[in-house]
Amino acid sequence: MSDDDCRDDDELDLDTEVETTDELSDDGIEADPADGPPEISRKVRRRRRRTRPRSKTIAMKRLTREELRVGALMYPPVDIPRPTEREQCRGEMRPCPWVACKHHLYLDINPETGSIKINFPDLEPWELKHTCALDVAERGGITLEEVGEIMNLTRERIRQVEVRGLLKLKMGSPSPDELGAELLRAKEANEN
């Protein structure tokens, strides 16, 4: 498949159907079905292809002890002091070399299971255009499509995460009725 075919597939919707005409022989007569199937079937369903490979997860519980031992030998702990505050990190070089940082976009580590999700399996950390989630957040408002490109997720998944985060914020903050009741109690306490 050529690059042009890939670009054409990306431009089509998921449910686009392409119909082909029956195969004709060189003399203009319709090809006999007994000769075998035509090169392209009657209907070909084309799908939108991902531009990047999907993220990969390494489950710690599925690794053998030997694999864990070899990994520990390959990557010993580093004693180089790393930034502990945002101000220190802001002045550091980019792309950020601290892949173990919880704000780095290359890896996600599940604190409950210890599984490691590699968000960009086809790239090395220093090849990423954006490496720090805090840098992206400081840029300000960007579209769901742009966030999806930065995080190697679909626009729909980014929308779902946004809705969940806003719901958590809403559930954690007091309602206007609760705020009003607290203000009234504070006012009464000051008057007494």
Tens of pLDDT, residue by residue over 2-40, are 444 444 444 444 444 444 444 444 555 555 556 665 565
Q: What is the pTM of this model?
A: 0.53
Question: How confident is the model at residue 88, as a pLDDT?
Answer: 82
CB 38 within 8 A of CB 30: no
Measured in whole angstroms, how far is the alpha carbon of residue 44 from the centre of its chain?
A: 29
The answer on pLDDT for 161 being more than 90 is yes
| pLDDT averaged over every residue in the chain | 76
pLDDT at position 63: 84
pLDDT tier at 167, thresholds 50, 70, 90: very high
Tokens of 62: 């599925």
Residue 46 and residue 19 in contact, taking contact as beta carbons nearer than 8 Å: no
State mean pLDDT over 118-127.
87
Higher pLDDT, 176 or 140: 140
Residue count of the chain = 192
Q: Could you give the angle at which helices 144-151 and 155-172 cross, rounded to 10 degrees?
A: 100
Which whole number is the average pLDDT over 70-98?
82
Mean pLDDT for 60-70 is 86
Mean pLDDT of 168-179: 81
Q: Which residue has the higher pLDDT, 186 or 20?
A: 186
Closest CA to 120 of 129, 111, 155, 112: 129
Mean pLDDT for 31-58 is 63
Tokens read off for 7 = 């670009």
Instruction: Give pLDDT, residue 162.
Output: 92
- Which pLDDT score is estimated for 159? 94
pLDDT of 74 above 80: yes
pLDDT, position 87: 83
